[in-house]
């Protein structure tokens, strides 16, 4: 995962996942325009392993996180990966995926758990938490969050994602996740922090003391 090379910036290349555009409008008589980076909606799942008293998390390299750690002056030409190693862009997250197929969100969530984490979770074991917006200033996409509990014997595959995904599955004891989240700099998305707080308040008090 940390074997990174030949890193350089290019002009934006359109894909099926993102669409940059500018929305022009008049509000209260004032003409305005805002840049939008339209993304697909997604799902996110908090997976708690009861056997290990651990949260099942995923580590992956996020190019946007990596780039944000590099000063503007060092983004020209080939980026020095000795000075800026891949570890700067490796995040710790809950299992998640895009709504890239015509199926109910809970079915997509189930498939993402199997693909990324290797657990076969029945649909009825998925508890819907909420649907919320992501970065409202730039994307406006929504994410639907679920919760499920698994045991070691429910793991039927290695996980790690599909196609060109490079994902490490991490079974992290809850106490270690708490220590990680209390660092001064947390290399995780905001929905990770929200999901962790939800888990601690709604589930972990019942499962055992924090």
Report if residue 104 sits inside a domain: yes
What DSSP assignment string belongs to 107-160? HHHHHHIIIII-B---GGG-EEEEEEES-TTTT--EEEEEEEEE-GGGB-S---
Mean pLDDT, residues 90-119 taken together: 94
| pLDDT at 178 (0 to 100) | 94
pLDDT above 90 (res 182): yes
| pLDDT at 118 (0 to 100) | 96
Report if residue 60 sits inside a domain: yes
Q: Show the domain range for 164.
A: 42-207
| pLDDT at 139 (0 to 100) | 86
pLDDT above 80 (res 208): no
Report if residue 176 sits inside a domain: yes
- The residue among 37 and 30 whose pLDDT is bigger is 30
Report if residue 2 sits inside a domain: no
- The residue among 110 and 204 whose pLDDT is bigger is 110
Report if residue 62 sits inside a domain: yes
What DSSP assignment string belongs to the chain? ----------S----SSEEEEEEEEEETTEEEEEEEEEE--EEEEEEEETTTTEEEEEEEE-HHHHHHTS-GGG-SSS--TTTS-GGGGEEEE-EEEE--SSS-HHHHHHHHIIIII-B---GGG-EEEEEEES-TTTT--EEEEEEEEE-GGGB-S----STT--EEEEEEEHHHHHHHHTSSS--S-HHHHHHHHHHIIIIIHHHS--
- H-run or E-run covering 175: helix 174-181
pLDDT above 50 (res 176): yes
| pLDDT at 101 (0 to 100) | 81
Question: What's the CATH number where 124 sits?
Answer: 3.90.79.10
Mean pLDDT, residues 94-116 taken together: 94
Provide the mean pLDDT of the chain. 92
Report if residue 118 sits inside a domain: yes
| pLDDT at 206 (0 to 100) | 61
Confidence class for position 12, pLDDT limits 50, 70, 90: confident
- The residue among 198 and 210 whose pLDDT is bigger is 198
Mean pLDDT, residues 148-168 taken together: 92
Report if residue 50 sits inside a domain: yes
Confidence class for position 210, pLDDT limits 50, 70, 90: very low
Report if residue 93 sits inside a domain: yes
pTM of the model as a whole: 0.92
| pLDDT at 18 (0 to 100) | 83
pLDDT one-digit tens code per residue, 41-57: 999 999 999 999 999 99
Q: Are 45 and 147 in contact (CB under 8 A)?
A: yes
The total number of structural domains in the chain stands at 1
């Amino acid at each position: 995962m940390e074997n990174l090379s030949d890193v350089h910036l290019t002009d934006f290349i359109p894909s099926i996942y993102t669409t940059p555009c500018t929305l022009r409008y008049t509000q209260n008589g004032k003409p305005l325009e805002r840049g939008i980076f339209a993304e697909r909606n997604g799902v996110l799942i908090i997976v708690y392993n009861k056997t290990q008293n651990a949260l099942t998390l995923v580590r992956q390299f996020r190019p946007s996180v990596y780039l944000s750690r590099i000063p503007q002056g060092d983004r020209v030409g080939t980026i020095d990966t000795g000075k800026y190693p891949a570890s700067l862009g490796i995040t710790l997250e809950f299992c998640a995926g895009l709504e890239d197929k015509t199926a109910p969100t809970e079915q997509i969530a189930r498939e993402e758990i199997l693909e990324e984490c290797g657990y076969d979770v029945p649909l009825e074991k998925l508890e819907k938490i909420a649907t919320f917006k992501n970065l409202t200033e730039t994307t406006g996409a929504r994410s639907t969050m679920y919760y499920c509990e698994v045991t070691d014997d429910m793991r039927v595959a290695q996980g790690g994602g599909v196609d060109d995904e490079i994902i490490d599955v991490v079974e992290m004891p809850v106490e270690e996740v708490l220590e990680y989240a209390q660092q001064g700099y947390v290399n995780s998305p905001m929905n990770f922090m929200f999901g962790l707080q939800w888990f601690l308040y709604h589930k972990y008090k019942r499962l055992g003391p924090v």
